[in-house]
Structure 1
Amino acid sequence: MKLDILVFGAHPDDAELGAGGTIAKEIAQGKKVGIVDLTRGELGTRGSAEIRSEEADASAKILGISVRENLGFADGFFTNDKEHQLEIIKMIRKFRPEIVLCNAVDDRHIDHGRGAKLVHDACFLSGLVKIETFLENDQKKQLVWRPKNVYHYIQWKNLEPDFVVDVTGFLNKKKEAILAYSSQFHDPKSSEPETPISSVNFLDSVEYRARDLGRLVGVDHAEGFTTEKQIAVKNLDDIF
C-alpha cells in the first residue's frame, strides 16, 4: 500500500497528540495516512501494553487512517543503531510515503528526541541502494525509497515551529482520537496514579496550544512542526 503520509510515534498516542489535527485534515482531503508506533508504551505508569494497543486501534478508526503498525521496540531503551534503523527503513520502503511526520526533536520524554533522530536518519538511509532489506516471510528485496520531506511535530515542550498547519474544523476529531486512550488521560473514575499527562490541565493544553498557534497566523486552530531543512513555496500566494 502506497501512502501519502507516514507518521511515526515513539509511543501509541504520540502521533495523535502531536499531529492529530493535521492527520484528520489530510485524510479528509483524500490523502492516505498511516501510523507506525515504535513501542507499545509498556513502561507507562497507567494502563498496559495490551490496553494501549486496543486504544491505538480505536483511535485509528476515529481518524480513519489506512494502516497502523507497531514495531515492538523496547519502551525507554530503544537506540538509534543499525538494527533499529533497518526496521524503520523496512516501513518506509513498504509504504513509500511522500512525507514522514515524527516525534519532537527535543522533549521531556527521552524516547521522543531519540525517536525523532532515529526516524530522520532512517529516512535518509532508506534511499541508499546498497542497503538491502526484506520484509518478514518475503524473499523479494525491497525497492529503495526516500521521502521528500521529514517534519517533526511538537509535544510537551513549547518548541518554536518552523511552520504551522491550519487545522481549523479538525480539533474535535483530534480530541476524540486522543480520548480513545482513556487509560492515559484524565478520568475522574480512574484509581491509577496521576502522571503529567493525566491532569485536566494537560488535556486542556491540547486546545489552548492549538488556539494560540492559530492566533499567531490568523486562524482558529493550528499545529506546529519543525524541519531540519529549508522550506520553499512555489509562489508568494502560497503563504497566508
Structure 2
Amino acid sequence: MIELVPPGDRLDVLCIGAHPDDIEIGCGGTLLGLGDRSGATVTGLVLTGTPERRKEAEASLPEFFPGASVRVLDLPDGRLPGHWNAVKEALEDCAAERQPAVVMAPRPDDAHQDHRLLGRMVRTVWRDALVLHYEIPKWDGDLRVPSLYVRVPDDHAHRKVELLHRCFPSQVQRDWWDDETFLGLMRLRGMECRTRYAEGFVADKLILSLDEGRAR
C-alpha cells in the first residue's frame, strides 16, 4: 500500500464533474475517508446543471467533505462537446487558481459524451497532478477493470448512499438510483481488492518517487 502523501503533509484535492452528483457517485466514499485526514482540502467544479440541480450540488459536496467548496456552471447537459471552448476555458480558469496534488474526474473512455470530454481534458490541463478517473454506473454498461482502488469502510459506504438519497432528491425516482446499485458496485470493487467495499479508479500515469516515499 502506497501513501499518496505522507502523514502530516497537505493533500489538496480537486474534483471535476460534468453533472451534479457525478463527483459524489464516483468518489463519494473516498471523500468521506479524506474527511478523517487532517490537512486535506477539497474543492469541486461542476460544468452543468439546472437551477434546481445546481443547488443540490452546492449543498452536497460539503456534506461529503466538511469545508469543501464547489463551483457549479450552467453549460448545457449532454452537449459539452459542442461547447468545447467554454469547457476548456472553465478548466483553465480553475487551473489558474488551483494546482492540486490530486484531480478526480470522469474516465476518458466513459460512454457519456460529457464525462468523456472532461476525462480527456483534465489530463492536459493538470499535467503535474495525480489524475484519478472515477467510474459512474449507467445503462450503457461501460465499466472496466480499475487500475487503482480506494478501500471504503462499511460505515462510509452506507453513509455515501444515505447522502446521495438526501442530497439529490431530484434523482431518486430514476430506475437505477437505489441502494443496490451504489452498494453493489462498491461491494464488487471491494471484493477485487480484498475488502468489503471500495471505489475503483483508472490512473493512466503514476510516478513513484522512492526517495520521497510517495506516488503522484
TM over 0.5: yes
Per-residue CA distance 1:186-211 (angstroms, 9 max, x = gap): 3xxxxxxxxxxx12575411101111
Give the Å deviation of 1:109.
2.1
- Cα 1:25–1:32, aligned 2, differ >3 Å: closer, same or farther? same
Give the Å deviation of 1:105.
2.0
* Normalised TM-score (structure 1): 0.73
2:119 paired residue among 116, 132, 139: 116
1:148 paired residue among 116, 119, 129: 129
Per-residue CA distance 1:86-128 (angstroms, 9 max, x = gap): 321221221221110101222332211112112222223xxxx
* Normalised TM-score (structure 2): 0.80
* Equivalence for 2:90: 87
Give the Å deviation of 1:231.
5.3
Distance (Å, rounded) in 1 between the aligned partners of 2:170 and 2:109 = 25
- Cα 1:65–1:120, aligned 2, differ >3 Å: closer, same or farther? farther
* Equivalence for 1:220: 196
| SS of match in other structure, 1:183 | helix
* Equivalence for 1:70: 72
Give the Å deviation of 1:72.
2.5
Give the Å deviation of 1:56.
1.4
* Equivalence for 1:128: none
Gaps of 5+ in 1: 41-48, 125-146, 187-197
Gaps of 5+ in 2: 1-9
Distance (Å, rounded) in 2 between the aligned partners of 1:76 and 1:21 = 26
2:22 paired residue among 14, 21, 24: 14
Distance (Å, rounded) in 1 between the aligned partners of 2:136 and 2:67 = 21
Give the Å deviation of 1:159.
1.5
Distance (Å, rounded) in 1 between the aligned partners of 2:178 and 2:161 = 12
* Equivalence for 2:171: 184
Contact 1:60–1:177 under 8 Å retained in 2? no
- Cα 1:215–1:117, aligned 2, differ >3 Å: closer, same or farther? same
Per-residue CA distance 1:202-230 (angstroms, 9 max, x = gap): 54111011111111212121000001214
Identity over aligned pairs, percent: 26
Distance (Å, rounded) in 2 between the aligned partners of 1:151 and 1:37 = 16
Query: RMSD of aligned C-alpha atoms?
Result: 2.5
Bigger Rg, structure 1 or 2: 1
Distance (Å, rounded) in 1 between the aligned partners of 2:176 and 2:74 = 30
- Cα 1:160–1:65, aligned 2, differ >3 Å: closer, same or farther? farther
| SS of match in other structure, 1:155 | coil
* Equivalence for 2:102: 99
Q: Give the strand-richer structure, 1 or 2.
A: 2
